[in-house]
Chains A and B, each alone.
Chain A
């Protein structure tokens, strides 16, 4: 395989890159009998061209719901209750169904969770790739049959598969190979933004690494942006340029990956990082106590305060955030929902330890 050059990609510190995705005040609710479940509640962030963003959170934090809403593939009872999602200046949420269909794969594509279930077992790989291309290309721009055939082989080679895989059925492929086919389909029309929802969660570490390296290679070659949804902070550290942390429907921290790991600002992010096991120090079993709150009636004030080690003055956490906690007016934690704001250049956090303005 070719060597990956310039691993930091087009997103390094220098060089201006325009915004590809601007999400503003996005709200996605589940309309249930018990009331609106605010799965994604007032989320805003921007993603630059060529940038790789990670989005982490516990199950139920709203990360997958948000990715599906951006693709407009959210299913009832989910409804988009408000906000904007501008992809290169076009509001995805304002498009009609036909316009959205033309946008998918061309401009925004999805690598689904568990590709093994996303491929149709009765079609050859070639037909599944062609199906995507044909379905999302206007009739008058359709390439010739030969050109399409060449394109399929090209795509397979680009994801590290042999051209002969085109004539195989999904059951003849391993999990890793199927996920590569899903990558080939997602990149077949060179989208500006690739959404990847836990693309490697069912695969072992060696295959995971190969898939992520292939995705990175494709993304750099196309200068596309990636939104990687997952819960593995290790994978994020390996792949992402910037990281968003979701908790109970809110984006609680958004910052460059190095800053997140070096000095996380939100106590939840800090707990996430502390709970990561490694292979250097043995016998650390620190989890995050408590459960995420119900999103029908979220806790008043900050949604994290019932589990927050600062608010609850956790004795194991007394040495953390020592200077920040002096500024904290803990009455705010139970009364005012903190807003995401910029505390340092490109470091955004929603926590009362960092007063706005």
Chain B
């Protein structure tokens, strides 16, 4: 196994306030349902805090299975839905209270890339529309020829030839091409943050690498921070610097991606990593059946993972464990690490590694 030489550069995590973050999620909780007619409520996101520092834009993966709350978190960060409790701050301002130019700036600086690029396109418009409308809306170019140059340049950056893409309708392009056009669109706007929700889950494995490469480029060359939402730990490992693992709405483990994926600490992360189908027939899954979901494994109190956890203890079922700082660059929400933890972790981003 080749491990990255952990150049443990002493990290100076300043006591930054929200104004030093591009985007900050502070104690956000989102509850769906409830009200007079639906009494059953679902806590989709449970007290999550996450910060994208303005000085060090990196790639943060948010990983979890369906129902973990990762997409809800993405929607909160994009300002599509408001949090039930807590707040999301953009450049220090609560995004639900932004008005006028600040709101416009937020819309431009925080861009989504969605799972199925086909749904973003209007089938009756040529793909040019998707690329030209942000140029017009945000007045990025002075005239038509300048606008076209910008578009061609952006397509070039993601490895698409404009002769083969402009002037075509969405159905004439492959899924991979459509997704790369969405990346090109993001480049045009030069946002500070991209929230990419499962951007490669609909494309072939052979094309995945190309698209992930483009997203990596956005970060490394243009300094755009990326929130990469995924259920695929392998691509998360490949592309991101730091990772947040979610289970039933709460963050169970977070930190530097090498630590979390190569040496997972939380029993749920361990189960996830063990279940990755390794592309090696000599290294097959263990023969024991992975812990089954029973349908009744929703926990109301305590650790959400307790009903499925092989190491469950009594107090796991009664009280939700805090995030323990287990290593320099990692935190885990599990009582197994009570003793070795140096402290409780207030903010997840405090264990994020950066070079």
Residues of A within 8 A of B (CB): 1, 3-5, 7, 58-59, 160, 162, 173-177, 203-210, 213-214, 231-235, 237-238, 257-258, 261, 271-273, 275-289, 291
Within 8 A of A (CB), among B267-317: 271-273, 275-282, 284-285, 287-295
List B contacts of A258 (CB < 8 A): 281-282
List A contacts of B213 (CB < 8 A): 285, 287
Is B290 touching A210 in the complex (CB atoms < 8 A)? yes
The verdict on B118 contacting chain A, using a C-beta distance below 8 Å, is no
The verdict on B210 contacting chain A, using a C-beta distance below 8 Å, is yes
The verdict on B133 contacting chain A, using a C-beta distance below 8 Å, is no
Is A282 touching B237 in the complex (CB atoms < 8 A)? yes
The verdict on B65 contacting chain A, using a C-beta distance below 8 Å, is yes
Q: Is the interface of A mostly helix, strand, loop or mixed?
A: loop
The verdict on B108 contacting chain A, using a C-beta distance below 8 Å, is no
The verdict on B355 contacting chain A, using a C-beta distance below 8 Å, is no
The verdict on B216 contacting chain A, using a C-beta distance below 8 Å, is yes
The verdict on B2 contacting chain A, using a C-beta distance below 8 Å, is yes
A214 to B207, CA, bound (A): 30
The verdict on B208 contacting chain A, using a C-beta distance below 8 Å, is yes
Q: Which residue of A is nearest B211, CB measured? A: A287
Known: A207-B293, A280-B2. Contact between A285 and B277, CB under 8 A? no
A3 to B290, CA, bound (A): 11
Is B2 touching A213 in the complex (CB atoms < 8 A)? no
Q: Which residue of B is nearest A260, CB measured? A: B281
A3 to B288, CA, bound (A): 6
Is B285 touching A213 in the complex (CB atoms < 8 A)? yes
Is A285 touching B272 in the complex (CB atoms < 8 A)? no
Range for the number of chain B residues in contact with chain A: 35 or more
Known: A205-B233, A277-B235, A285-B213. Contact between A213 and B279, CB under 8 A? no
A292 to B185, CA, bound (A): 25
The verdict on B119 contacting chain A, using a C-beta distance below 8 Å, is no
Is A205 touching B272 in the complex (CB atoms < 8 A)? yes
List B contacts of A58 (CB < 8 A): 204, 206
Partner of A272, one of B205, B216, B281: B205
Is B295 touching A174 in the complex (CB atoms < 8 A)? yes
The verdict on B261 contacting chain A, using a C-beta distance below 8 Å, is yes
Is B273 touching A279 in the complex (CB atoms < 8 A)? yes
Partner of B292, one of A160, A232, A272: A160
Interface string of B225-243 (1 = CB under 8 A from A): 0000001111101100000
A284 → B minimal CB distance (Å): 7
Q: How many cross-chain pairs have Cβ atoms below 8 Å apart between A and B?
A: 143
B5 → A minimal CB distance (Å): 12
Is A234 touching B277 in the complex (CB atoms < 8 A)? yes
Q: Which residue of A is nearest B284, CB measured? A: A238
A214 to B285, CA, bound (A): 13
Closest 9 CB pairs of A and B: A234-B277, A285-B213, A204-B65, A1-B289, A287-B209, A287-B210, A288-B206, A205-B275, A209-B275
Q: Which residue of B is nearest A285, CB measured? A: B213
Partner of A234, one of B231, B276, B290, B293: B276
Is A209 touching B206 in the complex (CB atoms < 8 A)? no
Known: A177-B295, A272-B205. Contact between A237 and B281, CB under 8 A? yes
List B contacts of A237 (CB < 8 A): 277-281, 284
Partner of B277, one of A209, A261, A273: A209
A207 → B minimal CB distance (Å): 7
The verdict on B86 contacting chain A, using a C-beta distance below 8 Å, is no
Is A213 touching B289 in the complex (CB atoms < 8 A)? yes
A69 → B minimal CB distance (Å): 22
Is B204 touching A231 in the complex (CB atoms < 8 A)? yes
Is B206 touching A238 in the complex (CB atoms < 8 A)? no
List B contacts of A206 (CB < 8 A): 65, 271-272, 275, 290-291
The verdict on B1 contacting chain A, using a C-beta distance below 8 Å, is yes
Is B281 touching A235 in the complex (CB atoms < 8 A)? no
Known A206-B291, A214-B289; further 5 A-B contacts with Cβ < 8 A: A160-B292, A210-B290, A213-B289, A277-B238, A282-B258
Is A278 touching B278 in the complex (CB atoms < 8 A)? yes
List A contacts of B4 (CB < 8 A): 282
The verdict on B341 contacting chain A, using a C-beta distance below 8 Å, is no
Known: A210-B290, A278-B234, A291-B174. Contact between A285 and B278, CB under 8 A? no
Interface string of B166-183 (1 = CB under 8 A from A): 000000001110000000
Is B258 touching A235 in the complex (CB atoms < 8 A)? no
Is A208 touching B277 in the complex (CB atoms < 8 A)? yes
Q: Which residue of B is nearest A172, CB measured? A: B295
